[in-house]
Structure 1
Amino acid sequence: MGYFKQQQQQTLLLILALAFAIAITPALSVVGWDERHMPDPRVCWAQINKADGCEHEIYAPLVKKKIKLSYACCEAVQGMSSKCKNWMFNHGRLSPEFGDQIKGYCATLGVTLPPSYRIYYPDKTPPGHIGYGG
């Protein structure tokens, strides 16, 4: 009978060790939360590039200091997923403020987003605001 009890203890220890390893795996992951939940930039740019020249139209105002997007480009921006909009306008040279300027410009062309929709979600809550700005 002692042999079977020893086998049961070993089996229980093995199960506990596996359960512990599975439980800590996400905590030890080398990939951060942002990287796991960030959209694929190729997919985001593919959505923008459905309108010919849209990528150029988005970057041109950074040099020319004047936004001039086509109706099709505004529709492409509107049609992007919220993850892509958040990534695009919180990344590199495209700031959240620039995203709001694009949203405003597209509204003048008649391409509008729902009134409560913000084109970006700030990474941090601005000083003096309570909760997450969204």
Structure 2
Amino acid sequence: MSAPHPEGEGAIAAMQQALSKAGVVAKDIDYINLHGTATKKNDEMEAIAVSAIFPNKPFASSTKGYVGHTLGAAGATELAFCYLALQHKKLPVHLWDAVEDPALPQLNWVTTENHQVDSVSLCLSNSFAFGGNNVSLVIGLSNE
């Protein structure tokens, strides 16, 4: 009951709806804050789903390595990381063991070498919960 759909159907639907409601397309997204629980089934599903929607490979990282899985607060916490990335033009580095699974689509990880960016206009934040409660949000800063 708690396992995500293996091909990421719910995650794909959430990301597509977020893009549509924001009036943007996948190539407009500069950074994705992954749900990134570091569990095998979630990470497999999310890599597949993100690769299906974003063939342009925007920067991606999970921030759970910094704060842990804050359960019900995870979506708000991760959205705050996106806001800070937009404000400071500095992306959160992906904290992990750096061992990629060759069976999965490869993502464009934020590293210590590429985390400072010249511009970041739009971020997408994923939050995928038990039972298929999937939410993706697009956030950007107004130039006004």
Per the normalisation by structure 2, the TM-score is 0.28
Q: Which entry has the higher C-alpha Rg, 1 or 2?
A: 1
Higher relative contact order (CA 8 A, sep 6+): 2
- Structure (1 or 2) with the greater strand fraction: 2
- Structure (1 or 2) with the greater helix fraction: 1
